Structure 1
Amino acid sequence: MWQKSLSPQNLSDDEKLALKKAPSLRFRFIVSGVIVICVIAGIAINLIFDYSRQLADLSYDRLLRSALLQMDENIALIDNQVSVDIPWSAFATLAQADEDRVFYKVESREQGFITGYDNLDSQPPKRPVLDQMQFYNQSYSNELVRFAWLERHLTNPESAQTVRIILGQTRLSREKMASSITQRAVEVVVLIALVAIALIMIGSHLVLRPLHRIEWALEERVKGDLTPITINTPKETHHLKVAINHFMARLQKNLEQLENYTADAAHQLRTPLASLKALAENARDNTSPEKHHQALENIVRQCDYLSQTVTLLLNQAVVSHRLQTHRLEPMDLLLPITASCREHAVPALHQGVRLSYECSLQEAWVLGDGFSIQQMMQNLIENAVRYSSHQKQQQTDVIVRVQALEKIYRIQVIDYGDGIAEEEKERVFERFYRARYDIAGSGVGLSMVKDILDHHHAQIDILDTQPKGTTFQVDIDKLRFFGGRI
């Protein structure tokens, strides 16, 4: 089982080191959650601190207002003089904050200082408005004091004066009340934060559980099981499951291609090796110099065929690998075509075939893989030359033609051989299928051509050449450029 091989004790030293250095998704999730909670808790505590101060000021400002209004009610204008009779109840109201000191001052614009603390020169931060009470904090006698300020007119039939009343109280009780509110609120916030962190730690396990389920599903599989994962997963891990399934499908396809390639190699090499062995045994047993020489010629010919077969198999393996690992890139289609024609011109001539290349284009840009397209063209040209060289009394030309249409480039490989019957045209791309066994061939060249064209999203058609022969026609999309870009 995979589970045994993937257990920590069975990991190699490099795997253990990589596991140790690997970042933890759960740790990142928890740390991110803790940071967010701490930031929120810090903001909440700061707001609570401000709110507690405001609440304390609101509560004690009511006492300060009540005391100032009681003082204001006992101020009168008698004989053009301001008379002040501060009631005991005013100070009794402020005495509820027994730790605080009280400062006050009564004065008028016309008469000046009347009673209280003569050096209490306090002005509100805002512009004074008659009959409007103001509250503010200001330093006095080396202490921070909360002041209530009021200014109003006193009138009688004979005169009028403007009286100003200033009443202050230290902030000790206020700060104590605000501290008490803040402490309780902070305790609640910290408790909530700790509970949230605990829930995040538990939630991280639940959030990552689908990943563990996928891991367990893979570990419990037997070796070679590449079937898709069918367990139900959340939306967030669904794409991961689909990606794993696609990867396993590609891997399964690669394994099948490897098996096919191994079967191809065994199939292709078995026959020439057996033939080569038979020819060698025949050469060994023959004593006649003429037959001995002929046997050696047959061995050399069979070695050439075996070499071609090995080269074809190696090219097929390289093409299969490139189709799986290389992306299609912008390329000039004419380069691999002209290279293939140049490479096969002389060998075709030795077989009595004239290979012609017809193209008026300067360049033809497509998305493709140059090596694969060159292998495709080599197989098409070799196939056309092979079947044309057997025509002794007919035209032995092979033409490679490239044309530009509206949206595609069209490649035609034209021969004048015996042609392909209609019922066989659909089968020529099957692996190992050969229409004629009297002509040398492997039966895998056209199959590789079809695989290459399918990867390039190109189309291939088999047409009849007039008066006789076969035309392989390939249509491949042009590369579109927009504003200098693909």
Structure 2
Amino acid sequence: MKAAHSLYGRLLGWLTLPLLTLGALLLLQAWLEARTTADHAYDRLLEAASLAIAEQVQRQDDRLWLDLPPAALEMLAGDAQERVFYSLSDQQGRHITGNARLPLPSDRSAADGGLLYRDIDWQGLRLRQGIRRSRLEGWQSGESFDVSVAHTREGRDALRFELLRGNLAGILGMGMLAVVTLLMALRAALRPLTRLRHAIRTRDPRTLAPLDLDLPRELAELRETLNGLLSRMRRVRANQERFIGDASHQLRTPLAGISARAELALRQTQPERWRAALETIHSTSENTARLAMQLLSLTRLANPEYRPELIPVDLNDCARQAVRDHWMTCHQAGVDLGADCLASPVHVAADWQLQESLANLIDNSRRYGASRITLGVMTHPPRLVIEDDGPGIPADQHLLVLRPFHRGRDDHEGSGLGLAIADGIARNHGARLSLGDSAMGSSLRVEIRFPEASQ
């Protein structure tokens, strides 16, 4: 059988999955926040630079003129040595001056009243551009113009990665702490299961005593289930030990008798004595073989794992078949065997053991002095009835004779198993076997009552 994964590994896998998902979300959030923070910081520099340039724009000789101070662009050039570009355009979009002809958006009205930011690709460079729409101050002219400032992204990217590294250190620290906490929590949670496994592994295989461990509720249910199993095994072992003891006692007597009778016959010289000894040995052998078969049947019925496969059968057919199977034996013994069946079928759920039960009941009546045995079928509820005209069984012995090896009276033929086997078969069919007085007098009436649902 293929080995299954450990519970520790499965729990670790299922709990690590959400931790990894959460870590990925935290990394994504840190990246987005670092990018937003870096863009916001450098966009403020673009805003300040465009404002400083716009304040220097004047009108001279009927045209726009710009005297750009160096500080206006120096503020954009940081440690990363970004390349900085600027341009001045009139209200028609014509380039006036600047160190580059930066492109303008088709809808320049978006920059009215503030600064328009956008990312552009210009001459193979990735730039961040800020466009400010402004007007000349003065009463003579209110001409509008556009100041466009752009720089490369080295400084932004450097700041973004620096911020991400700072967040990443915190995320990794929290991740390591979460992993250590998870491992410690798993070990603590599975420690009771380890104690339970150790207690089971170190137990003496011969002991079936209940487990006595202080466990959490979930494992306490498993402990009680195991204790229930051990309790059933104790009952099975007790029944087996009692059965083995009784069976060995029951078989030892007839086997010893056969051995003694054969030894005695070997000392004789007359053929008549040999024949008498052989007849006795043959009779004892038949009884011993029957006893062995009954012991096997009783062992099968006592097996808690045995579950008969029940099929619908007609009680009338069962009674007729039992009469056919045992008529010759009863006829040779001078016993009148018959069946009183119904015209309509009476169906119950049963298997082949029902015939074995009837065989034991018929044989029991024949051996204990009955001269007439009648099998009957009744309904509501469905019942099989076996009546005889034998000596019967006292009422105070009705429950005792259902126990294995209990005899109603001392005899050398009976084994005390017939009624016990019939009772066990009835219980396996969900039926109930009861003893009572027959309508023939003080003789015995055995009734097997099936549940109504089995019809």
TM-score range normalised by the length of the shorter chain: 0.7 to 0.9
- In structure 2, distance between residues paired with 1:477 and 1:70: 103
From 57, 62, 66, give the equivalent of 2:39.
57
Q: State the shift of 1:305 in Å.
A: 0.7
Which residue pairs with 2:188 in the alignment?
Answer: 206
Letter in 1 for 2:373: D
| 1:294 partner SS | helix
Say yes or no: does 1:442 pair with 2:415. Answer: yes
- In structure 2, distance between residues paired with 1:83 and 1:359: 127
Aligned in 2, Cα 1:416/1:112: closer, same or farther, shift over 3 Å?
Answer: same
Structure 1, unmatched stretches of 5+, are 1-17, 481-486
Q: State the shift of 1:229 in Å.
A: 0.6
Contact 1:77/1:156 (<8 A) preserved? no
From 190, 193, 214, give the equivalent of 1:232.
214
- In structure 1, distance between residues paired with 2:241 and 2:65: 116
Letter in 2 for 1:332: P
| 1:420 partner SS | coil
Say yes or no: does 1:379 pair with 2:351. Answer: no
- In structure 2, distance between residues paired with 1:350 and 1:129: 124
| 1:99 partner SS | coil
Letter in 2 for 1:410: P
Report the more deviating stretch, 167-176 or 68-77. Answer: 68-77
Aligned in 2, Cα 1:256/1:178: closer, same or farther, shift over 3 Å?
Answer: same
Contact 2:387/2:438 (<8 A) preserved? yes
Which residue pairs with 1:253 in the alignment?
Answer: 235
- In structure 2, distance between residues paired with 1:127 and 1:379: 110
- In structure 2, distance between residues paired with 1:126 and 1:265: 109
Which residue pairs with 2:450 in the alignment?
Answer: 475
Task: Provide, for residues 362-416 of structure 1, a one-character-per-residue CA deviation record: whole Å limited to 9, x for no partner.
Answer: 68464x7x355454443344334444xx234xxx13214264x4xxx62323213
- In structure 1, distance between residues paired with 2:281 and 2:232: 42
Which residue pairs with 2:312 in the alignment?
Answer: 332
Measured on the aligned residues, the alpha-carbon RMSD in Å equals 3.9
- In structure 1, distance between residues paired with 2:81 and 2:272: 134
Q: State the shift of 1:145 in Å.
A: 1.6
Higher Rg of the two aligned structures: 2
From 387, 403, 424, give the equivalent of 1:415.
387
- In structure 1, distance between residues paired with 2:193 and 2:107: 63
| 1:128 partner SS | helix
Letter in 1 for 2:416: G
Report the more deviating stretch, 290-299 or 232-241. Answer: 290-299
Q: For residues 297-446 of structure 1, what are the structure 2 equivalents within 5 Å? A: 297-321=279-303, 324-327=304-307, 329=309, 331-334=311-314, 337=318, 342-351=324-333, 352-356=335-339, 358=341, 364=347, 366=349, 370-387=351-368, 390-392=369-371, 396-401=372-377, 403=379, 405=380, 410-417=382-389, 418-438=391-411, 440-446=413-419
Q: Identity of paired residues, percent?
A: 23
Q: State the shift of 1:328 in Å.
A: 5.2
Task: Provide, for residues 160-204 of structure 1, a one-character-per-residue CA deviation record: whole Å limited to 9, x for no partner.
Answer: 655444322222111111111222322333333334334444444
- In structure 1, distance between residues paired with 2:93 and 2:103: 16
- In structure 2, distance between residues paired with 1:383 and 1:124: 113
| 1:110 partner SS | coil
Report how many residues are paired: 449
Letter in 2 for 1:94: L
| TM score, norm. by length of structure 1 | 0.77
Contact 2:82/2:151 (<8 A) preserved? yes
Report the more deviating stretch, 344-353 or 264-273. Answer: 344-353
Contact 1:315/1:375 (<8 A) preserved? no
Aligned in 2, Cα 1:295/1:308: closer, same or farther, shift over 3 Å?
Answer: same
Contact 1:149/1:167 (<8 A) preserved? yes
Q: State the shift of 1:56 in Å.
A: 1.3
Structure 2, unmatched stretches of 5+, are none
Q: State the shift of 1:300 in Å.
A: 1.5
Contact 2:8/2:190 (<8 A) preserved? yes
- In structure 2, distance between residues paired with 1:412 and 1:258: 31
Task: Provide, for residues 65-119 of structure 1, a one-character-per-residue CA deviation record: whole Å limited to 9, x for no partner.
Answer: 3333444455578998656565655434424566222223332443622333553
Q: State the shift of 1:470 in Å.
A: 0.7
Say yes or no: does 1:101 pair with 2:83. Answer: yes
From 106, 122, 130, give the equivalent of 1:148.
130
- In structure 2, distance between residues paired with 1:97 and 1:184: 19
Report the more deviating stretch, 248-257 or 160-169. Answer: 160-169
Aligned in 2, Cα 1:111/1:121: closer, same or farther, shift over 3 Å?
Answer: closer
